[in-house]
Amino acid sequence: MTTTRLTRYDGSMLRIMNDRRAQALYATAARRRLTVAVHITLTVAIGGLNAHMFLAKGEPLWAVAAMAVLLLPWMVATGAINGATRGLLELREHVLDERQSAERNRVLARSHRMTTLLLAAAATALLITGGVNGDAPKAYAAPLLIAVLVVNWIMPLWVAGLTAKDEPAEEEEPTA
């Protein structure tokens, strides 16, 4: 952490991100992977319901209700991943120490590369589909691009959650 004085916001965010009450959700690498997998699944489900809502004919109000129900566990999983990374992506740069800042840069670079590949795959899929059918699938272009933008927004969180290290075990004092 630098010598810059922390604002009230920085202090409260630092306390929230270092709160260990939910540590059971992310104490081991397997639990962190499971939490990230659940988060990815919930994100895909919410995105699929959102796409269905806009592409379906009629008024699929059930999709809105289902998205509202899925949003709470999605937020819990987001908080668990942020807790596992100790706010690596949520805290401002001047609050992080040198190691955390370097880790943040690695996570952002890796997620940027992954998102670039995903965007290239999405564009290729649209171009191939348009070339085979002779017409671009315009109805699916907007939902696909929105999905890629959502993944671009959330990918750093997933990468940080998957690459977070286990907390060092607390050393017990030897009894004489």
CA distance 62 to 59: 9
Whole-prediction pTM value?
A: 0.82
- The DSSP symbol for 134 reads S
Q: Quick one: angle between helices 29-55 and 61-84, nearest 10?
A: 160
CA distance 82 to 176: 40
Q: Is residue 141 part of a domain?
A: yes
Which helix H or strand E contains 8, and what residues bound it?
helix 8-17
Which pLDDT score is estimated for 33?
Answer: 95
Which pLDDT score is estimated for 117?
Answer: 93
Which pLDDT score is estimated for 172?
Answer: 59
What is the sign, positive or negative, of the torsion defined by CA atoms of 28, 76, 114, 10? negative
Q: Is residue 7 part of a domain?
A: no
* 95: Cβ contacts below 8 Å, ≥ 6 apart: 1, 6, 10, 13, 14
Number of domains within the chain:
1
- The DSSP symbol for 175 reads P
Helical ranges in 18-97 per DSSP H: 29-55, 61-84
CA distance 92 to 171: 31
CA distance 37 to 50: 20
Q: Is residue 43 part of a domain?
A: yes
Domain containing residue 89: 26-163
Query: Amino acid identity of 24?
Result: A
In the chain, beta strands by DSSP E: none
CA distance 87 to 93: 11
Average pLDDT over the chain, rounded to whole?
Answer: 86
Within the chain, which residues score under 50 in pLDDT? none
Q: Is residue 18 part of a domain?
A: no
Which pLDDT score is estimated for 165?
Answer: 84
Q: Is residue 142 part of a domain?
A: yes
Q: Is residue 35 part of a domain?
A: yes
- Please, is 37 exposed, middle or buried when counting C-beta atoms within 10 Å of its C-beta (0-12, 13-18, 19+)? middle
Q: Is residue 5 part of a domain?
A: no
Q: Is residue 60 part of a domain?
A: yes
